Amino acid sequence: MQKLKGKTALITGGSSGIGLATAQLFQAEGARVAVTGRSADSLRPTAAILGEQALLIPSDAADLQSIDQLMAEVSGSLGGLDILLLNAGIALPAPLESTNEDQFDTTVDTNFKGVFFAIQKALPLLRPGSSIIVTTSITNQLGSPNFSVYAACKAALRSLVSSLALELIPRQIRLNAVSPGPIATPMFDRFGLPTEASQAIKAQIQAKSPISRFGNPDEIAKVNLFLASDDSSYIVGEEIVVDGGMSLL
């Protein structure tokens, strides 16, 4: 039996990596899916993968006006929502001495501020029984040199999930988080580093991993499915770590 039959889902950052893998799984489990990416261009390959039944919406997760427009479009096309996966995120190297205010603000607006306001602005659309999932990261507990701002945003998200989960209970909405370890997605190629440097970073991560490999986006998608479905009906305000043991080190 399909676990999400008849449900509607909005996935931010659904054009790539974890978000795209989750959109495919949610569709296979019977959901009608809307996904966002930053531009029509970045969403073009997604159309071929998700097919005509998916709603593809260019929307900037860091911009409140854009989030308003997104919710209006989702409301018009889908009517309401049963699942909201707030997954859009950027991880850019930000060493302490060289990070300027613009870079700081872009990281915080995308990874933290936009998530808070997306939950707020989606509220009128979310039906009783809905599930909201936020993608955090194991960096929210680990020391992450050169990624301190990103890691701090993910720690803030973890805290937000605990507090808002309680605020949302009266509306019969569950809010939880999934905290990925290193997952093989295009994220590592977006650091703006020369190919050799990004390959060296990946090799270091793999060598450190207790199970000696990166996770696959599918392995996160399956946990998102669990939290999106009624299988997790008694789980509220939790963060599920999916990292091959990395955060145990």
Ligand X SMILES: NC(=O)c1ccc[n+]([C@@H]2O[C@H](COP(=O)([O-])OP(=O)(O)OC[C@H]3O[C@@H](n4cnc5c(N)ncnc54)[C@H](OP(=O)(O)O)[C@@H]3O)[C@@H](O)[C@H]2O)c1
- We find the least distance from the C-beta atom of residue 201 to ligand X, in angstroms, to be 11
Taking the mean position of all CA atoms in its chain, how far away is CA 87?
Answer: 1
Q: What single-letter DSSP state applies at residue 78?
A: H
C-alpha 238/C-alpha 236 separation (Å) is 6
Instruction: Report yes or no: 112 and 105 within 8 Å, Cβ to Cβ.
Output: no
Comparison of 1 and 48: residue with beta carbon closer to ligand X: 48
Contacts of 126 (CB under 8 A, 6+ apart): 80, 81, 82, 84, 132, 171, 173
C-alpha 81/C-alpha 84 separation (Å) is 7
Comparison of 121 and 190: residue with beta carbon closer to ligand X: 190
Degrees, nearest 5: CA angle 185-189-190: 105
Instruction: Report yes or no: 8 and 211 within 8 Å, Cβ to Cβ.
Output: no
CA-wise closest residue to 244 among 206, 200, 196: 206
Comparison of 126 and 241: residue with beta carbon closer to ligand X: 241
- We find the least distance from the C-beta atom of residue 99 to ligand X, in angstroms, to be 17
Comparison of 51 and 186: residue with beta carbon closer to ligand X: 186
Exposed/middle/buried for 49, CB within 10 Å: 0-12, 13-18, 19+? middle
Where in the sequence numbering do the catalytic residues fall?
Answer: 150
CA torsion 249-193-220-59 (nearest 10°) is 140
Comparison of 127 and 184: residue with beta carbon closer to ligand X: 184
Q: What single-letter DSSP state applies at residue 72?
A: H
Interface with ligand X (CB under 6 A): 12-19, 36-38, 42, 59-62, 87-91, 110, 135, 137, 180, 182-183, 185-187, 190
- We find the least distance from the C-beta atom of residue 149 to ligand X, in angstroms, to be 12
Report the 10 Å Cβ neighbour count for 77: 12
